[in-house]
Amino acid sequence: MQNLLHSPTKSEKGFYYSIIEIPAGTNHKTEINHQTGVFETNLRDGKPRIIDFLGYPVNYGFVPGTLMGKQNGGDGDPIDALIISESLVTGSIIEFIPIAVLRLKDNNQLDSKIIGVPVNPTLRTICATNFEELTSLYPAILEILRIWFLNYDKANDTTEFISWNDEIEAIAEIEKWRV
């Protein structure tokens, strides 16, 4: 089995890939095992981690071929990708268009979230394909995501909001952490 962490970052058409770990709407925290490449339920204190809050408002995954290295202030994981679309199955690989970056600090580590929409327009649930359209047509999405990430993990109240940035910054953030 190929380890999805080592999949290409970009498609031949120049679009970024995201590998979905957690489908929109669920409250089960699933992550890819960095050693085996298998999707597993995240454990906390030896028990499956179930989010005691609203389900994930978007599909949560990562950009393969990236690593937010701890030596550079990152969280030690591939950069997160939040895909605004219908619910996608764990393990789905989707081409996406970066439209924003949500910058957070979690336990004093940078934890950026790339916001994207599918390249395939039939999978999109919004009409925005850049930050200006996102902020003008759907300003509530920014607030929903900010509030969700600051509140979903009751055991970790150290998450801090840093900023929202546009698609140019989102692409630069992906490229900064590319390995």
What is the model's pLDDT at position 149?
Answer: 95
The sign of the dihedral angle between the CA atoms of 29, 33, 34, 37 is negative
List pLDDT tens digits, range 85-102.
Answer: 999 999 999 999 999 999
What is the model's pLDDT at position 2?
Answer: 56
Q: In terms of pLDDT, which residue wins out, 13 or 156?
A: 13
Record the tokens describing residue 23, joined without a space.
Answer: 């489908």
Topology at the third CATH level for domain 4-174: Inorganic Pyrophosphatase (3.90.80)
Spatial distance between the Cα atoms of 33 and 42, rounded to a whole number of angstroms = 9
Q: In terms of pLDDT, which residue wins out, 73 or 20?
A: 20
Buried b (16+ CB within 10 A) or exposed e, 112-147: bbbbbbbbeeebbeeebbbbeebbeeeeebbeebee
Listed in sequence order, the residues at least 6 apart from 93 whose beta carbon sits closer than 8 Å to its beta carbon are 4, 7, 17, 18, 19, 20
What are the extents of the domains in the chain? 4-174
List pLDDT tens digits, range 21-43.
Answer: 999 999 999 999 888 889 999 99
Spatial distance between the Cα atoms of 174 and 113, rounded to a whole number of angstroms = 10
List pLDDT tens digits, range 101-155.
Answer: 999 998 888 999 999 999 999 999 999 999 999 999 999 999 999 999 999 987 7
Return the SS3 of 112.
coil
Say which DSSP state 10 is in. B
